[in-house]
Amino acid sequence: MNALRRHPRRSQLLIGLTLAVLGFALVVQLRTTQQSSGFASARQEDLVRILDDLNARGERLRVEIDDLQRTKDRLTGGAGQDAAALQESRRRQDVLRILAGTVAAAGPGIEVTVTDPEHTVTADVLLDTMQELRDAGAEAMQVNGVRLVALSWFTDSGPSVLADGKPLRAPYVFRAIGDPHTLADAMAIPGGVIDSVSGRSGAAATIVPRDRLVVDALRTLSAPRYARAAAGRD
C-alpha cells in the first residue's frame, strides 16, 4: 500500500516535467518559424498552410496538457487515487510499448510512397520524411518492413539505403498513424519532403490519407549492457 501511495508524487513530477517540455517545444517551434528567412518569399497560400500546421500542433499540445491535468487530478483526488495510479500505470505501459515499437498499432493516418526508379533518393531524404511525420504528430511509423522509433536512423550504403541497419528497396512506403490532415499538410510544406523528392531525377512522392491503417512491423528490445536500476531510487 505504501508503494502505491508514492505513485502520485512521482506522477506529479512527471506531469510537471512533461508540461514544461511541451511548452518549451512550442515556443522553440514558433520562434524558429518566425526567424526562418525562407518564408519571406513564400506565397500567401503557403504561409496560410504553414500557419494552419502550427495551429494544429499547438492544439495537439493543448489537448495533451488537458489530458495530463486530468490525470494529475485523478492521482491527487484522495478517494480512489490508488486505483487511479494503477490504471494510469497500465495506460502508460501501453503507450510506451507503442513508442518502443514492440506491439502493433492501428488508427487513422497516411501512407507516403516515394518512388525512385533512378536511385536518386538518398538516406537524408528518408530521414527528413520520418522527422517531418514525427514533428507533425505521428504516433507510430514504419517504412517498408522496419518499425521507426525515437532512435531510428538512415544511412547510405552503396546503392542501397539502410534503415536501422536493414536494407530498403524502392518504392519506400511510410505508414504513419496520426491525424491524416495534419500529417498530409506537413509533407506538403514548401521546401519539405514533397519538394525535396520531386527535385530528384525520376523520383516522386504520393500521399494517401487512410481512415485506418496498421503499423505492424515490430522491434525486439535488447537488454542494456551498462545501465542498471539504481537501488533506493523511485
pLDDT at 164: 95
Same domain, residue pair 178 and 150: yes
Q: In whole angstroms, give the CA distance from residue 194 to residue 37.
A: 20
Same domain, residue pair 121 and 211: yes
Same domain, residue pair 33 and 48: yes
Same domain, residue pair 117 and 199: yes
Which residue range is the domain that position 81 belongs to?
A: 2-100
Digitized pLDDT (tens) for each residue of the chain, 234 residues in all: 444 444 445 555 556 656 565 555 555 555 555 444 455 666 676 677 677 777 777 777 787 787 777 777 766 665 556 666 666 667 777 788 888 899 999 999 999 999 999 999 999 999 999 999 999 999 999 999 999 999 999 999 988 899 999 999 999 999 999 999 999 999 988 888 999 999 999 999 999 999 999 999 999 878 888 888 887 655
Residue 222 resides in a domain: no
Q: 215: burial class by Cβ within 10 Å (0-12, 13-18, 19+)?
A: buried
pLDDT at 119: 92
Same domain, residue pair 36 and 128: no
Rounded alpha-carbon distances, angstroms, from residue 171 to 68, 116, 149, 174, 219: 39, 6, 20, 10, 22
Residue 140 resides in a domain: yes
| Contacts of residue 119, Cβ cutoff 8 Å, sequence gap at least 6 | 159, 170
Is the pTM higher than 0.85? The answer reads no
Q: 216: burial class by Cβ within 10 Å (0-12, 13-18, 19+)?
A: middle
Same domain, residue pair 111 and 200: yes
Q: Which CATH number goes with the domain that contains 152?
A: 3.30.70.1880
Same domain, residue pair 34 and 59: yes
H helices present in 1-122, as ranges: 2-35, 44-75, 81-100
Q: What's the structural domain count of the chain?
A: 2
Please give the single-letter amino acid code of residue 26: L
pLDDT at 29: 55
